[in-house]
């Protein structure tokens, strides 16, 4: 198939993402050679000074299961960050763009980006020579959460582009997925500081190759530690730090994964766990682990894996 033919097929496929029928399309070859698919969000128009969180719902267009081994993205200026979740159920009809959204209750974290151009690449060796991949089943429900902000004096439009590069479906791969820790007990009074934390048992026989955190703007620090030693520490909520590992240096958590977030609330309201970037907070530790034959895992406060 020529590159021109691939580009034409890509445009057809992107248009089909708004319909459940998109799952009937064959796997798309990206860049002439690579298995995978593309997602382009609708344009979002922001008034001067406006900030908002949008969700774009779609179905993965692949007709057979894919082992995604690289997520990459391009954000148009004004897009603060994006998070991709896959879900077990349809949250909204495919093609829906709405501000009525939040952390999906059955969402499996797949990818997050905070810079205009970003990517994560899965290790090519699980220790036995087999590459890692995040399995995206045919027609999988998904939602792209987008936080957009306009600090300028005039309106503008922004959008997000996401690409999933996948392994050849004919080859074996070891399934990798995200382990998400989430603290629901945040309560920071006005004009005060506070901390949220928890320790979560790791999934059985798991090895971790990437670790990061997520908070909102009131956080002064977030971290993940292992047996009292910090593994990743972030002091910038807009660009959280990541720590990545490759064979043979994957990380295990025999005593549990401890996550902690410190906050300074300078507002006249109490901070609680919630979806608003401005008036709520979150405390999350996110780790990519394997083997993950049963998919993503969750830990709420210190109860998990679920």
Instruction: Please indicate, yes or no, whether residues 12 and 129 belong to a single structural domain of this protein.
Output: yes
Q: 């503008």: which residue's tokens?
A: 156
- Residue 191 in any domain: the answer is yes
Whether the CB-CB separation of 46 and 155 falls below 8 Å is answered with yes
- Residue 306 in any domain: the answer is no
Residue 32: predicted pLDDT: 52
Q: Could you tell me the CATH number of the domain that includes residue 134?
A: 2.60.120.310
Per-position b or e across 174-199, b if 16+ CB within 10 A of its CB: bbbbbbbbbbeebebeeeeebebbbb
- Count of domains for the chain: 2
Residue 132 and residue 98: Cα distance in Å, rounded? Answer: 33
Range of the domain at 229: 177-300
Whether the CB-CB separation of 39 and 88 falls below 8 Å is answered with no
Residue 170 and residue 60: Cα distance in Å, rounded? Answer: 19
Instruction: Please indicate, yes or no, whether residues 148 and 237 belong to a single structural domain of this protein.
Output: no
pLDDT tens for the chain, 306 residues: list them.
Answer: 333 333 332 322 333 333 222 332 333 445 555 789 999 999 999 999 999 999 999 999 888 999 999 999 999 999 999 999 999 999 999 999 999 887 887 889 999 999 999 999 999 999 999 999 999 999 999 999 999 999 999 999 999 999 999 999 999 999 999 999 999 999 999 999 999 999 999 999 999 999 999 999 999 999 999 999 999 999 999 999 999 999 999 999 999 999 999 999 999 999 999 999 999 999 999 999 999 999 999 999 999 999
pLDDT by residue (tens digit) across 88-121? Answer: 999 999 999 999 887 887 889 999 999 999 999 9
Beta-bridge partner residues of 59: 141
Instruction: Please indicate, yes or no, whether residues 163 and 24 belong to a single structural domain of this protein.
Output: yes
- Residue 38 in any domain: the answer is yes
Work out the mean pLDDT of the chain and round it to a whole number: 89
- Residue 305 in any domain: the answer is no
Residue 266 and residue 263: Cα distance in Å, rounded? Answer: 10
DSSP line for 101-155: --S-TTEEEEEEE-SSEEEEE--S-SSSSPPEEEEE-TT-EEEEEEEEE--SSS-
Instruction: Please indicate, yes or no, whether residues 170 and 223 belong to a single structural domain of this protein.
Output: no
Among 112, 142, 174, the domain boundary falls at: 174
Instruction: Please indicate, yes or no, whether residues 155 and 190 belong to a single structural domain of this protein.
Output: no
- Residue 267 in any domain: the answer is yes
Instruction: Please indicate, yes or no, whether residues 162 and 182 belong to a single structural domain of this protein.
Output: no
pLDDT by residue (tens digit) across 187-219? Answer: 999 999 999 999 999 999 999 999 999 999 999
Residue 1 and residue 5: Cα distance in Å, rounded? Answer: 6
- Residue 13 in any domain: the answer is yes
Question: pTM of the predicted model, to two decimals?
Answer: 0.88
Sign of CA dihedral 16, 17, 18, 19: positive
Instruction: Please indicate, yes or no, whether residues 167 and 150 belong to a single structural domain of this protein.
Output: yes
The token pair that represents 255 in the structure block: 């005593």
Residue 24: predicted pLDDT: 29
Residue 15: predicted pLDDT: 33
Among 174, 204, 225, the domain boundary falls at: 174
Among 128, 153, 174, the domain boundary falls at: 174
Instruction: Please indicate, yes or no, whether residues 136 and 205 belong to a single structural domain of this protein.
Output: no
């Amino acid at each position: 198939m020529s590159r021109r033919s691939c580009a034409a097929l890509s445009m057809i496929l992107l248009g089909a993402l708004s319909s459940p029928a998109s799952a009937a399309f064959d796997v798309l070859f990206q860049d002439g050679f690579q298995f995978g698919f593309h997602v382009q969000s609708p344009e979002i128009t922001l008034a001067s000074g406006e900030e908002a969180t949008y969700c774009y719902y779609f179905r993965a267009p692949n007709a057979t299961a894919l082992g995604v081994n690289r997520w990459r993205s391009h954000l148009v200026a004004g897009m603060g960050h994006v998070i991709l979740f896959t879900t077990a159920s349809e949250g909204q009809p495919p093609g829906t763009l709405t501000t009525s959204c939040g952390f999906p209750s059955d969402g499996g974290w797949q990818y997050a980006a905070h810079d205009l151009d970003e990517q994560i690449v899965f290790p090519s060796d699980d220790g036995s020579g087999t590459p890692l991949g995040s399995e995206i089943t045919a027609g999988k429900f998904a939602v792209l959460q987008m936080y957009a902000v306009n600090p300028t004096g005039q309106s503008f439009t922004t959008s997000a582009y996401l690409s999933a590069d996948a392994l050849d479906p004919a080859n074996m791969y070891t399934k990798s997925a995200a382990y998400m820790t989430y603290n629901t007990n945040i309560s920071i009074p006005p004009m005060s500081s506070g901390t949220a934390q928890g320790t979560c048992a790791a999934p059985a026989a798991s090895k971790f190759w990437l670790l990061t955190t997520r908070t909102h703007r009131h956080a002064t620090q977030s971290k993940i530690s292992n047996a009292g030693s910090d593994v990743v520490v972030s002091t910038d909520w807009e660009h959280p730090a990541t720590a990545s590992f490759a064979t043979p240096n994957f990380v295990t958590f025999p005593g549990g994964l401890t996550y902690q977030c410190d906050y300074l609330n300078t507002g006249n309201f109490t901070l609680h766990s919630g979806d608003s970037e401005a008036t709520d907070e979150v405390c999350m530790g996110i780790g990519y682990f394997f083997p993950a034959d049963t998919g993503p895992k969750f830990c709420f406060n210190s109860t998990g894996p679920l």
